Structure 1
Amino acid sequence: MTSSTTKSTTKPTQSTPKPTAQSNADFHLPAGKAAAGPYAVDIDPERAGWGYSSLRVLELPPGGTHAFATGDSEWIVLPLSGGCTVAADGETFDLHGRADVFSGVTDFAYLPRDTEAAITSTAGGRFALTGARCERRLPARYGPASAVPVELRGAGTCSRQVNNFGAVGAFECDRLIAVEVLTPGGNWSSYPPHKHDECRPGEESELEEIYYFEIAEAHGTEGVGYQRVSPSGRGRGTDVLAEVRTGDTVLIPDGWHGPSIAAPGHTMYYLNVMAGPAAERAWLICDHPEHAWIRATWPDQPVDPRLPLYEAPTAPSGDAR
């Protein structure tokens, strides 16, 4: 059995630092570059240079356990592969998990700020911890896979699937917004390019965002994808054109982001983690004015017949969780 403990010493941040003169390498973190301690990925506000959003990816061997303090952030424990037991606030949640991100919707567990938590996996697995600094302390809860809304967005070669496990309106959090996106090989998602880097009530939210990628192998070969982020004239002037592979992350403090391009033959998965300074938890985006017209073409096109890759399972009879 392996065991590790992580203590948070961060304090809530009310303003977002905005350093300048950063390069592509500051925002695209290839697999392994963001590793620290027990985590294959460990991105917190200090490392990202912003105020709220966090992502950790924890890999546990069979029988492994990991203990950590949630600190000033709320967290969702999301199995990427395998299942686990999550204990926090006197509650214990058994997560059935899944074989991998391309095979099904997963259940998950919500952990409040200011608590001690532990994740244990009998068979081993990989688990994402999506986090956001927050003020309210909500109760620890179980999120069943059957309650995750599976949405198809776009049409034609812009078709993609969104698993809205931590979306606004789907699951209550204080600041955290998190979803999964699956894009069939050859398609573009996160398109038209859009942004959410300023607060315009009723029109746009200010949200920091992390993209975490996994690319399906095919015919024994590793897959690749491509991610574009272009400057919007605000913040750091984020400018990224990255070839992404399994385990890579892209940080988006500002800017027009998209497209996310899946190479033909390789399904692309990405996990989006968002949070920001506004008191209201909302996901409001602004499309790039030069590309927004693409949405008007979708009603005349069918959704990619490869979608959905899978749907949420039916809730077991009598399951009140």
Structure 2
Amino acid sequence: MSTEFHLKATTAADGPYALDIDPKRAGWDHSSLRVLDLPPGGRHSFATGDSEWIVLPLSGGCTVLTGSGEAGEIGETSETGEIGKTSETGETGETFELTGRESVFSGVTDFVYVPRDAHVQIVSGAGGRFALTGARCERRLPARYGAASDVPVELRGTGNCSRQVNNFGAAGTFECDKLIAVEVLTPGGNWSSYPPHKHDECRPGEESELEEIYYFEVEPAHGTEGVGYQRVTPSGHGRGTDVLAEIRSGDAVLIPDGWHGPSIAAPGHALYYLNVMAGPGETREWLICDHPDHGWIRSTWPGQPVDPRLPLYEAPAGDAR
């Protein structure tokens, strides 16, 4: 069983990033994920290159500045005290304020989409941890703010398969060119990403080909860190991905192919994971195929209640933006 697909916390760190997964490191073509830790007053700049990105607070809030200029052309303080400088091309950078959240277990967050071929700066007065979910793309869409109040919160499954999905970057919810990203929260003792499913073939109307990254955090309890478990089994396509991982906060699992699931939350510790997906299909869609040995479990869900612990939280009421 290969360990190349399970990236333990800090083992995939690079420069300013606690986690840095790009297509080259993953051995695929589209999906990326970076996790950025900023101290109070910290700032970080990056070029988006050939990818679109969503800046998603995991903890804390930040200011996101974006424009088409080179590094140093945005994010500087002007003589008037305003942040956001006009580039040499005459394009004025945009500034977005993200309220963020205390942690992934405390609430839905707002976020910012930034396009390819742009320069971005992230500034955090109080410090925080921020996920940068990315996908190589072709279209250059406008930078946009995503309000927490607009994020659909879905309860999926019933009984001990109950989980919560925050569909902030789902296909059909928020426009991107290639990127699909959602958050999943699983109460302690429950199984999610179940029944095992796959999306490693292009079968129009039935299954979409998507590379996927799972990034995990485990809610501490009674002074203990907590663990979760992730399973991926070969589907007969691609690289034969085979993973049985004990995961901790900060870990990631790469899924280029294969049946993935379950994701198991240990009793007493809620499990969070961020899914980042992208693929070569002309249509941006999430179409999956259930494992033929386990898909029957869906037929039992209508006869069971949803776990009463869900939702762990709901999207806040709309703001004035």
Question: Quick check: TM above 0.5?
Answer: yes
Matched residue type, 2:65? A
**Cross-structure match for 1:239:** 242
Q: What whole-Å deviation, never above 9, does each CA across 1:270-304 have from its counterpart, x for those lacking one?
A: 00000000111000000000000000000000000
Q: 2:31 aligns with which of 21, 41, 53?
A: 53
Whether 2:143 is the aligned partner of 1:140: answer yes
Matched residue type, 2:272? Y
**Cross-structure match for 1:188:** 191
**Cross-structure match for 2:129:** 126
Give the drift of 1:311. 0.2
Q: Partners in 1 of 2:168 and 2:65 — Cα distance?
A: 20
Q: Partners in 2 of 1:241 and 1:168 — Cα distance?
A: 29
Say which SS state the counterpart of residue 146 (structure 1) adopts: helix
After the TM superposition, which residues 60-99 of structure 1 pair with which residues of structure 2 at under 5 Å, given as runs?
60-89=38-67, 90-99=93-102
**Cross-structure match for 2:252:** 249
Matched residue type, 1:207? L
After the TM superposition, which residues 104-183 of structure 1 pair with which residues of structure 2 at under 5 Å, given as runs?
104-183=107-186
Say which SS state the counterpart of residue 206 (structure 1) adopts: coil
Say which SS state the counterpart of residue 24 (structure 2) adopts: helix
Give the drift of 1:25. 1.6
**Cross-structure match for 1:37:** 15
Whether 2:31 is the aligned partner of 1:28: answer no
Matched residue type, 2:30? Y
Give the drift of 1:100. 0.2
Fraction of identical pairs, as percent:
80
Q: Partners in 2 of 1:309 and 1:275 — Cα distance?
A: 28
Whether 2:230 is the aligned partner of 1:230: answer no
Larger radius of gyration: 2
**Cross-structure match for 2:268:** 265
Q: Partners in 2 of 1:306 and 1:223 — Cα distance?
A: 19
Give the drift of 1:158. 0.0
Matched residue type, 1:87? L
Matched residue type, 2:19? V
Q: Partners in 2 of 1:314 and 1:216 — Cα distance?
A: 25
Cα RMSD of the aligned pairs, angstroms, is 0.5
Matched residue type, 2:218? I
Matched residue type, 1:276? G
Matched residue type, 1:60? L
Q: What whole-Å deviation, never above 9, does each CA across 1:11-41 have from its counterpart, x for those lacking one?
A: xxxxxxxxxxxx5221000000110000000
Structure 2: gaps of 5 or more residues? 68-92
Whether 2:282 is the aligned partner of 1:279: answer yes
Q: Partners in 1 of 2:300 and 2:273 — Cα distance?
A: 25
Q: Partners in 1 of 2:15 and 2:99 — Cα distance?
A: 26
Q: What whole-Å deviation, never above 9, does each CA across 1:78-131 have from its counterpart, x for those lacking one?
A: 000000000002110000000000000000000000000000000000000000
Q: What whole-Å deviation, never above 9, does each CA across 1:36-84 have from its counterpart, x for those lacking one?
A: 0000000000000000000000000000000000000000000000000
**Cross-structure match for 2:218:** 215
Q: Deviation above 2 Å: which 4+ runs of structure 1?
A: none
Q: Partners in 2 of 1:290 and 1:26 — Cα distance?
A: 26
Say which SS state the counterpart of residue 34 (structure 2) adopts: strand
Q: How many residues align?
A: 296
Q: Partners in 2 of 1:273 and 1:24 — Cα distance?
A: 21
TM-score of the pair, normalised by structure 1 = 0.92
Q: Partners in 1 of 2:214 and 2:183 — Cα distance?
A: 10
Q: Partners in 2 of 1:92 and 1:52 — Cα distance?
A: 27
Q: Partners in 2 of 1:47 and 1:73 — Cα distance?
A: 15
Q: Partners in 1 of 2:150 and 2:242 — Cα distance?
A: 37
Q: Partners in 2 of 1:62 and 1:24 — Cα distance?
A: 39
Q: 2:201 aligns with which of 192, 198, 201?
A: 198
Q: Partners in 2 of 1:243 and 1:196 — Cα distance?
A: 23
